[in-house]
Amino acid sequence: MPLLTIAAIYFILWWTVLFIVLPLGYRSQGDEGEVTNGTIESAPAKFRGGRVVLLTTLISAALYASYHVASTYLGIGITDLPNIVPSYRPN
């Protein structure tokens, strides 16, 4: 598999997983009871960007590794997935 394809698949996985990981462990300033002036209550109390990036990277790497094993060693590809959209044939 070309390196650019690997990077593109990993990039898409990483951004998708990022939006899944962001709300994990989220505590708002309203939950903590200390709202900083100029912010709203739903703003994060303590944003842990390093933790989010690390967790996103690890999960994305595991997902990509499972995709790579399935496609390379098991021979399972995108075309093997069931077709959920019916084919369109004009009359």
Q: Identify whether the C-beta of residue 22 lies closer than 8 Å to the C-beta of residue 44.
A: no
Pick left, alpha or beta for residue 24 (phi over 0 → left; psi -120 to 50 → alpha; otherwise beta): beta
| pLDDT tens digit sequence for 56-69 | 999 999 999 999 99
pLDDT tops 90 at residue 72 = no
Residue 57 CB burial class (10 angstroms; 0-12, 13-18, ≥19): middle
| pLDDT tens digit sequence for 35-63 | 889 989 988 888 889 999 999 999 999 99
- CA-closest candidate to residue 51, choices 32, 24, 31, 27: 24
Please tell me what DSSP assigns to residue 18: H
Higher-pLDDT residue of 91, 53: 53
